[in-house]
Structure 1
Amino acid sequence: MSDQREAFLAGERLEDVALFLADSYVSDERLEEFGERVDDGTLIVIDGERGRNAFQAATGTGAMEFAKSAMSNEGEIDDELTGGHCPDAAADGEHEIQFVFAFAEAQNEEVGGIYAEGDVVHAYAQCTCGTAFSDRWNVGEADG
């Protein structure tokens, strides 16, 4: 795992976003110049504004609009941000993660819940079946 991804998942890069783009979704060797090559794609950790722009360029959707559409449908996203389990996987069809967008939010005791317990990673994924879903967890509590 790259130092950038480790720092992001440790809550040390709160101004950055992480993007995973599966090879099956977008195949462009130039992506590796910007991120970490993983088994089924490329994972990029980049400053927030550039990351949101890169997400929109790669997916054709605004990052925050995508997050808003996915947040009401909970699923499981791998703590390494390179895959997950679609909540509709019981249905027929292919269920592979196409892309993941993630950001971390600083601890906020005033909000309560998991936000009071520490920094929170918010992750949003798109499945090949068309389902968008979300997951979140406290930094340091991932299953990894």
Structure 2
Amino acid sequence: MTTTDKREAFLAGERLEDVALFLADSYVSDDRLEQFGERIDDGVLIVVDGERGRNAFKAATGTGAMEFAGSAMGTEGVVDGDLTGGTCPEAAGSEAEDEDHHTQFVFAFAEEQNEEVGGLYADGDVIHAYAQCECGTAYSDRWTLEE
């Protein structure tokens, strides 16, 4: 399965045991990453099994994946549906127009539909996505795969 196929399968809810990582070239530049993922214009997107993905995330960022997710949960933002960027909540109404708000990295996982929990989880499989902005803001987004 190609890396593009893995991303499409992940976004379709067919790889619930995997995680997705996007690492921007401006954050980490390592040509070896391309052998594990898909080259995107400004970075690499990797879809791998959960344990390997969490280890790769820690190696690339120096932070544990779930610790990062926990810190990003408190700030809602918009992560692109293709997992390769987002809109930092600090960018909206920012007085410092020259301040950069480029996504440095994204960590995402999918959770299976769970009607018992209700809410968003009753509507379908849910993507949880967490992003780090160049300005230092960590933020989160989530959506059902049916959206």
TM-score bracket for the superposition, by shorter chain length: over 0.9
CA shift for structure 1 position 140: 2.9
- C-alpha distance in 2, partners of 1:11/1:70? 23
Tell me the equivalent position of 2:132: 126
Which region of structure 1 is more displaced relative to structure 2, 84-93 or 8-17? 84-93
Specify the SS of the correspondent of 2:47: strand
Over residues 89-125 of structure 1, what are the superposed CA-to-partner deviations in whole Å (9 max), with x where a residue is unaligned?
0322110000000000000011100100000000000
> How do 1:95-106 residues align onto structure 2 when only pairs under 5 Å count?
95-106=101-112
Gaps of 5+ in 1: none
SS of corresponding position for 1:57: helix
1:68 is displaced (CA, Å) by 0.3
The root-mean-square deviation of aligned C-alpha atoms, in Å, is 0.9
- Find the residue that maps to 1:2 and give its secondary structure: helix
In the other structure, the counterpart of 1:135 is 141
Q: Displacement of 1:72 after TM fit?
A: 1.1
Moved over 6 A (4+): none
Which residue of 5, 8, 20 corresponds with 2:10? 8
Query: How far off its partner does 1:22 sit?
Result: 0.0
Q: 2:28 maps to what in 1?
A: 26
Identity %: 76
Aligned length: 141
Which segments of 5 or more consecutive residues in structure 2 lack a partner in the other structure? none
Question: Which residue matches 1:87?
Answer: 89
Provide Cα deviations, 1:73-93, integer angstroms capped at 9, x if missing partner: 000000000011000003221
Give the corresponding residue for 1:55.
57
